[in-house]
Chain A
Amino acid sequence: MKYYRSHALVCVDPECLAKGAHEVLDALQDELVAQGLIEEVQVLETSRIGGCANGPELMVYPEGVHYAGLTVDDIPYLVEEHFLKGRIVKKFLAPIPKRVDEELGPPQAKEVRVVLRNCGKIDPENIEDYIAEDGYLALAKVLTEMTPEQVINEVINSGLRGRGGAGFPTGKKWQLVRQAPGNPKYVICNADEGDPGAFMNRRVLEGDPHSVLEGMIIAAYAIGASQGYIYCRAEYPLAVRTLNIAIQQARAFGFLGENILGSGFSFDIEVRMGAGAFVCGEETALMASIEGRRGEPRPRPPFPAVKGLWDKPTNINNVETYANIPQIILRGASWFASMGTERSKGTKTFAIAGDVKRTGLIEVPLGITLREVIYDVGGGIKDDKAFKAVQTGGPMGGCLPAEYLDMEVDYESLTAAGSIMGSGGMIVMDEDTCMVDIARFFMEFTQDESCGKCVPCRVGTRRILEILERICAGQGRHGDIEVLEMLCEQIKNTSLCGLGQGAPNPVASTLKYFRSEYEAHIYEKRCPAKVCRALITYEILPNVCTGCTVCARNCPVEAITGARRQTHVINPDICIRCGICMQVCNFNAVVVR
C-alpha cells in the first residue's frame, strides 16, 4: 500500500461536472505533476461533498479543508500555496459541509457505539475499509489462537444476550448447538427486522456488513458449522445488495469459503430473501421459509439448537448479536461486561421514532434510564409538549407511562413493567396521543400479521380488535374492559409463538396504565386526547370567529353555515370531523370538544 501525505477529494457529481469539475480535476493532476508533488498528494474522485451549489469543490485531508467555487485558472495558485507551501488559501475556503444523515447523526451525550461504530464512517462496499478498522482481526485471532470452546467461553463470559428480543445468552446457545448431536450444523443470521419503527439492523447491514459476516464466521467456527444463511427481508433491497457484495469480497480475501485463512476451517454464507411476512422474524417460521414453505412457526421444543434447519442443529442469532462478536473477541469479555447492568451487559441500539426531537438510531449502554434516552439522547418531546408514553419493543411491546421514565432499561425491567426489549424500537408519544387508538392500531398490525396457524392468536387478536374498534367508534359497552383483560391473559398463555404471546402487550399495558382513557371512551363517550373521530365535535367559538368564511368555503361537506362577518356554525350532523376547518382558520376560532 502506498502512503500519501495528503489527499485531495474532488467532487464529481453531475452538478459539479456541469460546472467544470473534470477540467479542474485534470488541471489539478497536471499542476501536481508539474510541481513534482504527484507522489505525495493523492487525487481522488468523490461525490456529495456539499450541495454542489458552489462547485466545483474539493476536500483536502488531513487538514479537512473544503474549497469551493474553483476554476481551472485558480489551480496553479492553489497547488503552490496549499500543497507546496502548506498554507490554507482563504479566498477559496468554504464552510465544512454538514453531513446530512437523518438516521444516525454524530453520537449524542451518553451514547456508546459498538455495533454502530463503523456505520457512516467506512465504505460498506469496500472490504479494505473494514479491514483498516481492525476488521477480520478477531477472526484471525479465533482461528489461530483459540479453540472453539475458548471462543464459546469468551462469549459466555461477556454476558452478551440475544439482541433479537428474547435475550437468551448467546454463548450458552452456541454451546447447546455445539453439543447437539447431528451433522451438518447451520448458522443463521436473522435479518428479518420487521418491527415497525425498528431499523437498526438495516443500518448495520447497509453500513457495516462485514461485522455481521465476521460474527457469523466466528460463530460457525465455535459450533462447527460449514454453511450459513442470512435471512433478510425483501423490504431492504439495499441491505441485500450490500450483503452480497460483502460476501463476494470476503470470499475473494479468503475469509469465507474453503480453508479460511489457511486454517483448514471452511464456511460459506448465502443470502435468502423474505417475501413479506412479519412472522418470519420468529425463528422457526424463518427456517420454514428458508426451506421453501409457508412461514409458520412450530412448537418449541425441540429448539433450533437441537432440531433446526432441515432438522439439523442450528444456531440462529440476529444481526446486532453477530455484529457484537468481533469486538468481544478483540477487546475481551471483561470489557463488554463492564457495560450494562447486573444481568444485561453491553450496549443496545434503539430506533427512536414518534414525537421526539431527534429521531433516528442510537446506541447506549444497557442500564440507561428511559428519561436519559428520550431527553438527553433524543432531545426531548417535539414542540415541547408533555410526554405521555413510550412504546418499547415493537408491536409486541407495551406502552409505558411517565412513572417509568426513571426505570433502568434492561431485559428484566422492561418485562416486569409489561413491555419487552424486543429488537429495540422505541416510539415516543406526546399528550395528543389516544392510547385506546394506539392499542387498536397495534392490534390491527398483529391481527393482520398473525399467520393463522394457532387459534388463540388467529381468533383472539381479531376479537380484541373488534372490541377496540367499537370503543373507538363510540360504541363501547359495560364489560368491555373485563373481556379485554381476559382475552389478553388467555392469548398470552396459549399462543404458539412469540407473536401471539406478545400480541396482547399493547392492550394489556394501556389497560394497566391508561385505564381512565378506556373508561372515558366507554362510559363518558369521550376521547380525552381528542383523536377518535366518533367521540369528538368541532365547534366555532362565537367570540373569536370573525366571519371570514374561509372555513365554510373549505368544508368538503358544507357543514358550516354563516353570513360574511357573522359568526359561523358547524352542523354536527353533517360534519365528518375531517378537521380541515381547524387547519384553515386563521384566528384559532375552531376548537375540538
Chain B
Amino acid sequence: MDVRDAPDVLSVVQTAVTRHGTSREALIPILSEVNQALGYLPTAALTEIHRLLKVPGSQIFSVASFYRMLSTKPRGEHVIQFCESAPCHVVGGREVWQALQDALHLNPGETSADGKWTLLTTSCLGICGVGPVVVIDNDVYGNVEPEQIPEILARYA
C-alpha cells in the first residue's frame, strides 16, 4: 500500500476511542476497530491507545497478541482463511488446504512477498453444512473442491 494512501493511524485510533470511550473494558472493541481499519495494529496505534487509555503498554500488547483476529504484523491485500475444523476436515478439507498452500506457495500464517496474500486458518465458522469452507476477505466459499482453488484465487487477481 502506498504510504500516502494509508489511513492516518492516529486519527483512526482517535475515532475508535471516541466511539468506545477510555474505560479498560473498551480496550478490545478499540483494538478490533483499529485492526479492521488498518488491517493490523501498528506500534504507533498501540502507543496512542496506551496514551489515551492510560493502560500499560505491556498489557495492551498482551491483549493484542492474544486474540486471533488481532494482528501486530501487517497482513496482505487479501486475507485467505481456511476453516481447519473437524467437520470440514472429514469432508475433504485436507485436500483443499493442501491445494491452497500449493497454489500460493505459502505456509499457514505467512504473507506473500508481494504483499498480495495472507494465508490463515480460522476457527469454525459454524457453516459446517457446506464444508469445506474458505473465506477470502469477506467472501465465503462453501463446498470447495481442490480443483476450484485456482479459479477462486483468480477472482482476486
Q: Contact residues of A with B, CB < 8 Å?
A: 102-103, 193-199, 202, 234-236, 272-278, 289-295, 351, 353-355, 359-360, 391, 395, 427, 429, 433, 438, 441-442, 445, 449, 451
Contact = CB atoms under 8 A, between A and B. Distances in A.
Contacts of A274: 67
Interface string B39-74: 000000000000000000001001100111110000
A446 B24 CA distance: 29
A277 B90 contact: no
18 contacts: A193-B126, A195-B124, A196-B124, A197-B128, A198-B126, A272-B28, A275-B28, A275-B70, A289-B28, A292-B25, A293-B24, A295-B67, A353-B87, A359-B87, A359-B128, A427-B90, A433-B90, A445-B84
Nearest to B60: A292
Contacts of A445: 84-86
B54 to A, nearest CB: 13
B150 interface: no
Nearest to B138: A237
A71 to B, nearest CB: 36
Contacts of B123: 194, 196, 235, 276, 278, 449
Contacts of A359: 87, 128-129
Contacts of A196: 85-87, 123-124, 128
B76 interface: no
Given A199-B126, A354-B91, A275 B67 contact: yes
Contact of B128 (A276, A353, A395): A353
B107 to A, nearest CB: 15
B115 interface: no
Contacts of A391: 86
Contact of A234 (B25, B69, B89, B91): B69
A273 B23 CA distance: 16
Nearest to A233: B123
Contact of B68 (A277, A354, A433, A441): A277
Contacts of A427: 86-87, 90
Contact of A292 (B24, B86, B130): B24
A319 to B, nearest CB: 12
Contacts of B69: 234, 275-276
Contact of B126 (A234, A235, A442, A451): A235
Nearest to A235: B125
Contacts of A198: 124, 126
A407 B127 CA distance: 28
A423 B122 CA distance: 20
Interface residues of B, number: 34
Contacts of A442: 86
Given A354-B87, A429-B90, A291 B67 contact: no
Given A235-B125, A277-B66, A295-B66, A197 B85 contact: yes
B16 interface: no
A197 B93 CA distance: 13
B27 interface: yes
Interface of B: 23-29, 31-32, 59, 62-63, 66-70, 84-87, 89-91, 122-131
Nearest to B142: A102
B145 to A, nearest CB: 11
B109 to A, nearest CB: 11
Contacts of B23: 292
B99 to A, nearest CB: 10
Given A199-B126, A199-B127, A276 B90 contact: no
B90 to A, nearest CB: 5
Q: Which 9 A-B pairs have the closest CB atoms?
A: A196-B85, A276-B68, A199-B126, A275-B67, A353-B87, A276-B69, A196-B124, A292-B27, A197-B87
B56 to A, nearest CB: 12
A290 B25 contact: yes
Contacts of B32: 234, 273, 275
A194 B87 contact: no
B26 A292 contact: yes
Given A199-B128, A273-B29, A427-B90, 6 more contacts: A235-B124, A273-B32, A275-B70, A294-B62, A295-B67, A354-B87
A584 to B, nearest CB: 12
Nearest to A292: B27
Nearest to B65: A294
A500 to B, nearest CB: 17
A190 to B, nearest CB: 15
A306 B130 CA distance: 42
A234 B135 CA distance: 14
A198 B129 CA distance: 11
A278 B84 CA distance: 13
Nearest to A531: B94
B67 A351 contact: no
A242 B42 CA distance: 32
Contacts of B68: 275-277
A249 to B, nearest CB: 22
A386 to B, nearest CB: 15
B15 to A, nearest CB: 17
A102 B129 CA distance: 6
A196 to B, nearest CB: 3
Contacts of B84: 445
A228 B27 CA distance: 19
B73 to A, nearest CB: 15
